[in-house]
């Protein structure tokens, strides 16, 4: 039995969701893109080959050696630079880029699938390219023509990479505290000074130049988030050093192959993106896309974990089935005969495939929000705003649970580095933190996207749930869907009402509300998947979908109610505890 | 703000549980031990000093360097051997040892607290000594007088250490598959041959000799677990090599400071412990004690995580409280003002202190099971049998959640190795696996301890819950306790009934039943703690207890119902999925 992991791109599942569940062909017509099923197929297949052959083999070795830092320069693990050169040569970075600057102009959804395939094979490596897309979007959406012409062609081609520089030693979630400064210069540029930490892909040896998108304060700017501006600060300017110094890289729990940098900006030249003091809005252009990508990372890690543990469960012989031997000619039965191993596999399958369809749905909304027109565009934007914290928060939380099931199925072997599955747990752990912790997503969801919005976006999604229940009337999921639709709306509005009396009710309920919302969203998608799949009873893949949906409703969805109860239990049991009552010494 | 962790022994909490909640003084009188409150105090304080000063400083460094293997010899991290020598010199290993062989003859409960304090400071180091106690108990309970005289004095003094050698490459949970062989030798000893893996503390440089307790098969023994015998196999025999070769140590996710060894026994001399083919029974003497110790490890890791995250939450300034600034003279408020940070702290506190009292209760039962008389002894044994899988399974599962909350409170800093908190997550992950996975505990609980037992032990614990509800009649927890008592009994018997129709119902429900049982047990103990603490309203420590109990009932206990529903949902949604329906490629 081989303990080594493997990665096989789940093309069947991807295509099923793309074509049969979410009808991307119709969607592409609606947004007037000439992307087609054939084109998507070709992209997915070529990407699968690249990821399986070039990226996956570097996953474990990249974790083992990690990055190294020497006198300000970062070296990535062996093979990373060569793979990156192939990635650029293959035209992968430019898929969704603006054609005016050399991009292929395809919808963002396609670049998300490319991202998924590559990050499944090698998450740490893929991050070097992912953050470029965030930088590209910020410059493309908010930058001057000059900035676009200067930076977009090389970023879109992948010859340069990008970063997002927000965090400082004293501020992470509270970006309003930052104190990196930007002094205006006579030529219209700025001099940027300050220290940023936790900068993913902040320095490396993969590309000629690195384009940092940096939040900083102008001299006369107001305090807090209203005084923050966004700047482009390249590592090199006309090939010369721009005094951006990588002071150290972090020794961390996971994603060892990606350099997490401390960057010192020492009077570095920078260029304002968008208006002065409008940095937060520009930053969210990057951030929202990055949050969906982090949800996708959760899907990627689950995919590897599911593949590894399904194979292990099929091959590892241990004890007999309770109902009598299933492999009487072997010394024991494969552990997939045991009910709880199946529970752990099906939990992974439910979270993985359910999380995948949630990220694809968000990508569809993102396409429409960027290319659709009129009402379609506005309603897609609103729904994407609602879905973003759910995809980021819920998919990563459930991904962490899922990869732990994958490890657990391996027993003691799962704890050994060579098996490769414990790396999934270590890598997954950061997805609950970066680009806004689960807590930040939860506040965004309940406070901003539901309560401040009077529940408008939530109600439009709830209408989709009701419509699905009507389509399935009399089926096994319809009444539960209707109940969820009623309950979710009541919960959101109820919490909004409570918050009028006590502002702490939002924070007290937020994470449980996020988790409730995630289970409800996933229930909707599993019901929808089951409806589509139930038309193909002769196909094992489709039967598996229907059965996983049933499993989700029977065994996973009851958790939603525990979260609802906790969310409704009020702020008092949290807020009434004084500092000295926490202690026990 | 110092990011470095610290460890302060929670003597107040330990004493509160020992004296006020569980009345160990009365218990010691009942089992006719001359242990007293004063003696316990002295032991705890001295142990705290040793652990804080000598063991904790080696925790992070031991993780960083790990053990090394060179040509069959294992070197432990710097400082480990010196600390171990102090431990032996201080008389710590012999606390609960048999006085006939140099032990101090104190109740096992005291040695559990010593274990807790030391493992909180340094889990990987402490494991070198923990496994000796398991070996000592096996030899003391089942060994011949000769074996006792030969091995106990040096094991009890700590000059030698012990191991448990069960797992082989092809068998972990299913120990019945093992094929290490024991050939009888003319002098009454045996020649042991085979390979064992995942042997914690299997080789090291701390002690003069290592005494392996090895499961093996005699030549004419029946297949499966009925043909397994237990042998003592020392590394050195009269100072000479006994051909026990450490072939490798594992590179693993956590507990780097403890050597996890592959051991080759090459015609090594061994001595039968107990009767031929009675190895499983003897092994369980070790295993049951080891399982409580693993539950304790969960408590230890939670303690460190709680201390670190409570301190961080008090010092880290980030955003303002929703209800207005709490530290207006600072740039932001400490994050402990935010409701969800409090939720994560209180969840840790609830699982930590609730898990601690569960391990102490088990220790009390263990004392009585070993030293009590008549009915007391029999009922303690039965209750301990029930509690062991709950303590092992539930406390470690909730500990893994708790240390992840500790990490999450640290945000990005939690992912950095230097902060020390991610080590807790890596170390905690093994506690869900070794000495029987959560799945094995769950099958033991539901299949053996509840169903095969016709619910006798469960009913006696449920009576304790009812009695507590009566004591608290009219209080905030009484009706919930009564509901739990009814529901838990019904659930256990209901699942037993279903299993008569379908044997897979046990496995299908087992882990959810284990988790339900854990929440119910913990609810009982939190109610009991609140009753004791509510008499001292002027004391912040006591008020914290009452409020944590309320928090547990409001926000954590609703999960029990989700587990109950999942457990009752039946085996079909798990068992009806065929092998090819799991796939999605």
Do the Cβ atoms of A432 and B408 come within 8 Å?
yes
What ipTM was predicted for this assembly?
0.98
Do the Cβ atoms of A585 and B8 come within 8 Å?
yes
User: Read out DSSP for A254-296?
Assistant: S-TTS-EEEEEEEEEEEEEESSTT-HHHHHHHHHHHHHHHHHH
pLDDT above 90: percentage of residues in chain B: 96
Do the Cβ atoms of A173 and B584 come within 8 Å?
no
Do the Cβ atoms of A338 and B439 come within 8 Å?
yes
Rounded CA-CA distance B392/B442 in Å is 10
pLDDT, tens digit, for every residue of B126-170?
999 998 988 999 999 999 999 999 999 999 999 999 999 999 999
Q: Are A481 and A524 in contact (CB under 8 A)?
A: yes
- For chain B, give the mean pLDDT: 96
Rounded CA-CA distance B32/B551 in Å is 38
pLDDT bracket for residue B1 (50, 70, 90): very low
| Residues of chain B contacting residue A508, judged by C-beta atoms under 8 Å apart | 339-340, 343
Helix (H) or strand (E) holding B355: helix B339-371
Nearest to B550 among A321, A543, A573 (CB): A573
- Whether B208 is covered by a domain: the verdict is no
- Whether B51 is covered by a domain: the verdict is no
- Whether A553 is covered by a domain: the verdict is yes
Instruction: Count other Cβ atoms within 10 Å, centred on residue A463.
Output: 12
Do the Cβ atoms of A172 and B412 come within 8 Å?
yes
pLDDT, tens digit, for every residue of B197-254?
999 999 999 999 999 999 999 999 999 999 999 999 999 999 999 999 999 999 999 9
What backbone torsions phi and psi does residue A254 show, to the nearest 5 degrees?
Answer: -145, -160
| DSSP character at residue B411 | G
Rounded to a whole number of angstroms, the distance from the CA of A439 to the nearest CA of chain B is 7
**Which residues of A are tagged catalytic?**
435
Nearest to A551 among B414, B422, B573 (CB): B573
Instruction: Count other Cβ atoms within 10 Å, centred on residue B471.
Output: 13
**Which residues of B are tagged catalytic?**
435
Nearest to B507 among A173, A339, A400 (CB): A339
Do the Cβ atoms of A331 and B177 come within 8 Å?
yes
- Whether A498 is covered by a domain: the verdict is yes
- Whether A240 is covered by a domain: the verdict is no
Q: In the predicted model, what is the mean pLDDT of residues B407-427?
A: 97
pLDDT, tens digit, for every residue of B48-78?
999 999 999 999 999 999 999 999 999 999 9
Rounded CA-CA distance A343/A548 in Å is 10
Nearest to B415 among A412, A429, A576 (CB): A429
CA nearest to B193, candidates B177, B181, B178, B211 = B181
Q: In the predicted model, what is the mean pLDDT of residues B514-518?
A: 98
Among A249, A253, A255, A417, pick the best mutation site for testing chain B contact (most B Cβ within 10 A).
A253
Q: In the predicted model, what is the mean pLDDT of residues B493-498?
A: 94
**pLDDT the model gives residue A5:** 87
| Structure tokens given for A550 | 């049933």
* DSSP H helix total and E strand total for chain B: 19, 11
| DSSP character at residue B228 | -
For residue A463, the enclosing domain spans 441-574
| Structure tokens given for A214 | 């940096």
**pLDDT the model gives residue B2:** 45
**pLDDT the model gives residue A2:** 45
Among B7, B168, B495, B573, pick the best mutation site for testing chain A contact (most A Cβ within 10 A).
B573
Length of chain B: 585
Among A9, A315, A582, A585, pick the best mutation site for testing chain B contact (most B Cβ within 10 A).
A582
Nearest to B430 among A173, A415, A565 (CB): A415
| Cβ-defined contacts of B461-468 (< 8 Å, 24+) | B461/B383, B461/B386, B461/B387, B461/B521, B461/B524, B462/B488, B462/B489, B464/B524, B465/B520, B465/B524, B468/B524, B468/B527, B468/B528, B468/B531
Rounded CA-CA distance B30/B368 in Å is 8
Rounded CA-CA distance A108/A89 in Å is 20
pLDDT, tens digit, for every residue of A113-133?
999 999 999 999 999 999 898
- Whether A543 is covered by a domain: the verdict is yes
| Residues of chain B contacting residue A433, judged by C-beta atoms under 8 Å apart | 408, 411-412, 414-415
**pLDDT the model gives residue B165:** 97
| Residues of chain A contacting residue B584, judged by C-beta atoms under 8 Å apart | 10, 12-13, 349, 353, 541, 544
Do the Cβ atoms of B437 and A411 come within 8 Å?
yes
Rounded to a whole number of angstroms, the distance from the CA of B356 to the nearest CA of chain A is 12
Number of domains in chain B: 1
User: Read out DSSP for A515-576?
Assistant: HHHHHHHHHHHHHHHHHHHTT-TT-HHHHHHHHHHHHIIIIITHHHHHHHHHHHT-SHHHHT
What is the value of pTM for the model shown? 0.98
* SS3 state of residue B74: strand
- Match 């307790």 to its residue by tokens: B213
C-alpha dihedral (B499, B503, B508, B510), degrees to nearest 10: 60
Do the Cβ atoms of B583 and A554 come within 8 Å?
no
B559 half-sphere exposure, CB direction, 13 A CA radius:
20
Q: In the predicted model, what is the mean pLDDT of residues B262-274?
A: 98
Find residue A160's DSSP bridge partners.
A209
Among A349, A552, A555, A576, pick the best mutation site for testing chain B contact (most B Cβ within 10 A).
A555
| Structure tokens given for A452 | 């401040």
**pLDDT the model gives residue B285:** 84
- Whether B462 is covered by a domain: the verdict is yes
| Structure tokens given for B346 | 């209180």
pLDDT, tens digit, for every residue of A350-387?
999 999 999 999 999 999 999 999 999 999 999 999 99
Whether residue B103 is predicted with pLDDT greater than 60 in this model: the reply is: yes
pLDDT, tens digit, for every residue of B522-532?
999 999 999 99
**pLDDT the model gives residue B454:** 86
Do the Cβ atoms of B177 and A332 come within 8 Å?
yes
Which regions of chain A are under pLDDT 70? 1-4
What backbone torsions phi and psi does residue B411 show, to the nearest 5 degrees?
Answer: 55, -145
CA nearest to A196, candidates A210, A215, A182 = A215
| Residues of chain B contacting residue A574, judged by C-beta atoms under 8 Å apart | 339, 342-343, 346, 551
Rounded CA-CA distance A409/A413 in Å is 9
Do the Cβ atoms of A574 and B167 come within 8 Å?
no
Nearest to A554 among B170, B430, B569 (CB): B569
- CA R_g for chain B: 24
Find residue B261's DSSP bridge partners.
B199, B249
């Amino acid at each position: 039995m081989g303990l080594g992991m493997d990665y096989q791109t789940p093309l069947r599942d991807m295509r099923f969701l793309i074509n049969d569940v979410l009808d991307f062909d119709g969607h592409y017509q609606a947004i007037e893109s000439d992307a087609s099923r054939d084109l998507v197929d070709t992209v997915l297949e070529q990407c699968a080959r690249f990821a399986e052959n070039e990226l996956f083999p570097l996953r474990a070795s990249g974790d083992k050696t990690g990055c190294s830092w020497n006198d300000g320069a970062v070296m990535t693990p062996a093979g990373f630079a060569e793979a990156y050169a192939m990635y650029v040569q293959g035209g992968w970075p430019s898929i969704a880029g603006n054609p005016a600057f050399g991009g292929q102009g395809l919808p963002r959804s396609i670049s998300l699938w490319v991202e998924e395939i590559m990050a499944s094979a090698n998450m740490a490596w893929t991050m070097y390219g992912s953050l470029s897309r965030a930088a590209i979007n910020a410059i493309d959406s908010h930058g001057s023509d000059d900035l676009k012409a200067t930076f977009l062609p090389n970023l879109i081609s992948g010859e340069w990479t990008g970063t997002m520089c927000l965090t400082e030693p004293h501020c992470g979630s509270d970006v309003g505290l930052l104190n990196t400064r930007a002094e205006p210069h006579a030529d219209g540029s700025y001099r940027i000074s300050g220290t940023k930490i936790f900068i993913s892909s902040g320095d490396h040896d993969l590309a000629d130049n690195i384009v940092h998108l940096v939040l900083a304060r102008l001299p006369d700017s107001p305090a807090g988030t209203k005084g923050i501006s966004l700047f482009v600060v390249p590592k090199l300017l006309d090939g010369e050093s721009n005094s951006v110094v990588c002071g150290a890289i972090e020794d961390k729990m996971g994603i060892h192959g990606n350099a997490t940098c401390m960057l010192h900006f020492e009077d570095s030249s920078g260029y304002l993106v968008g208006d002065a003091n409008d940095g937060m809005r520009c930053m969210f252009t990057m951030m929202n896309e990055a949050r969906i990508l982090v949800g996708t990372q959760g899907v990627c890690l689950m995919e590897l974990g599911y593949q590894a543990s399904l194979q292990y469960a099929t091959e590892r012989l241990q004890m007999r089935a309770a109902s009598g031997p299933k492999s009487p000619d072997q010394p024991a039965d494969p552990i997939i005969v045991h009910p709880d191993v199946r529970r752990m596999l099906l939990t992974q399958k439910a979270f993985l495939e359910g999380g995948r369809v949630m990220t694809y749905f968000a990508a569809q909304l993102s396409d429409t929000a960027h290319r659709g027109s009129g009402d379609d565009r506005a309603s897609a934007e609103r729904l994407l705003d609602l879905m973003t914290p759910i995809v980021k928060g819920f998919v990563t939380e459930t991904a962490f649970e899922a990869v732990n099931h994958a490890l657990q199925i391996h027993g003691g072997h799962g704890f050994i580095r060579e098996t490769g599955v414990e790396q999934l747990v270590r890598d997954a752990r950061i997805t609950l933190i970066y680009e806004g912790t689960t807590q930040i997503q939860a506040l965004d969801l309940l406070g901003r996207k539901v309560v401040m919005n009077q529940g408008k976006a939530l109600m439009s999604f709830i209408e989709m749930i009701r419509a699905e229940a009507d389509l399935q009337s009399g089926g096994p999921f319809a009444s539960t869907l209707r109940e969820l639709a009623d309950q979710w709306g009541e919960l959101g509005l109820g919490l909004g009402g409570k918050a009028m009396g006590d502002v702490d009710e939002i924070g007290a309920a937020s994470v449980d509300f996020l988790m409730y919302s995630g289970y409800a969203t996933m229930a909707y998608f599993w019901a929808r998947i089951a409806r589509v799949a139930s038309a193909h009873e002769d196909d094992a893949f489709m039967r598996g979908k229907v059965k996983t949906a049933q499993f989700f409703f029977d065994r996973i969805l009851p958790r939603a109610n525990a979260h609802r109860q906790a969310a409704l239990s009020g702020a008092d049991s949290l807020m009434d505890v004084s500092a000295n009552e926490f202690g026990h010494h």
